[in-house]
Structure 1
Amino acid sequence: MADPDDGLHWPRVRAWLLSNPDLLSEDRALLEDIGLRHTGRNVVDLGRAALVRLEAVVEREAGQRKAVEQVAEANFAAQTQTHAACLDLLEARNHSDLARRLDAAARERFGLAGAAIALEKPGGVPFGWRALEASRVDQLLGQDGMLWLGPVFEGLELFGAASAEVNSVALVRMSLWSPERPALCAFGSFDAEGFTASMGGELVAFLAGVTARTAERWPVLE
């Protein structure tokens, strides 16, 4: 590195080059090293440097376009799997079958740890569903909260044997029957970043809505 006190400063270097242009224009090796090309006396071709810059722009734009395409493909695939899962849910024969189909769709179609339907007490809870204490939905989502995407809550044992491996969850509020029974549609991911607050919750909310409407086909036995 040049000593700042040795007088080597850009204004002086520039002035010196202007006074001695041949030393630069005739040094072909130096021109090649800095991306320029000598084409004749007093002519320096900037084409190579410009081409390098253009190629960098094209490569950057191609990378951005590819990223957008990958996101679009992932969204399309997720929507396709969601629609297929909904068809599976609509074929459920009873409450227990509905819970089984939801869990299977979560694991097989979306690679999740599992899914569950949870219903607050008092009152009967269908076989295969999870029982929640009264007001537990409000405790988890807040009194007016409809959706939670993020880290798993401590003690949230909704996913059976896979509960210990769940690191993030999507919880969607459901209200079933009349009089209303607060409930949850829950999805668990092995990945801590599987569900985060920055994600959109439209697809899980849609699945929860289909689950709720399907569950209301049959009454819950008290």
Structure 2
Amino acid sequence: MSVSPDLSTAPHEPHWPEIRAWLQANPQTLLDDRSLLEEVGLKPHGRNVVEFGRAALTRLEEVAEREADARKRIESIARANFAAQTQTHVAALDLMEARNLSDLARRLDAVAQGRFGLAGAAIALEKPGGVPFGWRGLEVGGVDGLLGEHGLTWLGQNFAGLNLFGAAEAEVKSVALIRMSPAFPGSDLSTRHALCAFGSPEEEGFTSTMGCELVAFIARVVERTAERWPILS
């Protein structure tokens, strides 16, 4: 007849390898203790038969919950991406219906606020040369000064001195700046350095780690649409 180890008199807490070895040597002791089996989530069915139902089911439920949560997150991201793409395509149609350069700037600001929940949007154009009504003027080298000589985009916190959003400037916490090079009909210059700027009222609305494909697409639509008309002096 096996005898349980006297753990109360041990000089130190028993280690699992010792307990495991003892259980392997005396399995019937555990099988005969029905209350202990039930406490650890096991259900005995006669001699030498133990059902792992409760413990196994608990683990399966936990796995199922994790998978369901992951699926919900993926579905939520997919819905958000689809909604953003749809709004972007509708915004592009709105911009292409512009009647002139000033109307283009007005429409860009309107779609930024109405369709994307931004504080505003603006078009900035470098001198020399005329600047259409409703556009922002930049001094020579202004675009390179904001994006770097070869920079195409910049996303991050708004900063002092940008001043592209007019009355909405105080609301803008983060910005996306996209380089443009429109070629206006009748201009002596082949292209002009320009910016398409978007301002978000949220600190994390635009960050350096964020993809900018959608705002870059809008900027390209603005650039190509602007090339329909000459700049009137």
Whether TM exceeds 0.5 here: the answer is yes
1:195 alignment partner in structure 2: 206
1:163-217 CA-partner distances (Å, limit 9, x unpaired): 1221111111001224321000011111111112222211111100110111111
The question of 1:141 aligning with 2:144 is answered: no
Q: Return the match for 2:219 from 202, 208, 212.
A: 208
- Secondary structure at 1:199's aligned position in 2? coil
Unaligned runs of 5+ in 1: none
Matches within 5 A, 1:21-40: 21-40=27-46
User: Aligned equivalents of 1:141 and 1:32: distance in 2?
Assistant: 67
**AA of the residue aligned to 1:80:** T
Larger displacement relative to structure 2 (21-30 or 130-139)? 21-30
- Secondary structure at 1:176's aligned position in 2? coil
Shift of 1:51: 2.0
**AA of the residue aligned to 2:152:** M
1:67 alignment partner in structure 2: 73
Shift of 1:96: 1.3
User: Aligned equivalents of 1:121 and 1:63: distance in 2?
Assistant: 53
2:192 alignment partner in structure 1: 181
Shift of 1:23: 4.1
Give the TM-score taking structure 2 as reference length.
0.87
Shift of 1:159: 1.1
Identity of aligned residues (%): 67
- Secondary structure at 2:105's aligned position in 1? helix
1:72-128 CA-partner distances (Å, limit 9, x unpaired): 111111111011101111111111111111011001101111110011122211111
Shift of 1:7: 4.7
1:56 alignment partner in structure 2: 62
Q: Return the match for 1:130 from 97, 120, 136.
A: 136
2:119 alignment partner in structure 1: 113
Unaligned runs of 5+ in 2: 1-7, 184-188
Change (3 A) 1:143 1:5: farther
The question of 1:155 aligning with 2:166 is answered: no
Change (3 A) 1:5 1:142: farther
Shift of 1:5: 4.9
1:170 alignment partner in structure 2: 176
2:47 alignment partner in structure 1: 41
Two-structure CA RMSD over aligned residues (Å): 1.9
User: Aligned equivalents of 2:197 and 2:38: distance in 1?
Assistant: 62
Matches within 5 A, 1:85-100: 85-100=91-106
Give the TM-score taking structure 1 as reference length.
0.91
- Secondary structure at 2:45's aligned position in 1? strand
Shift of 1:15: 2.7
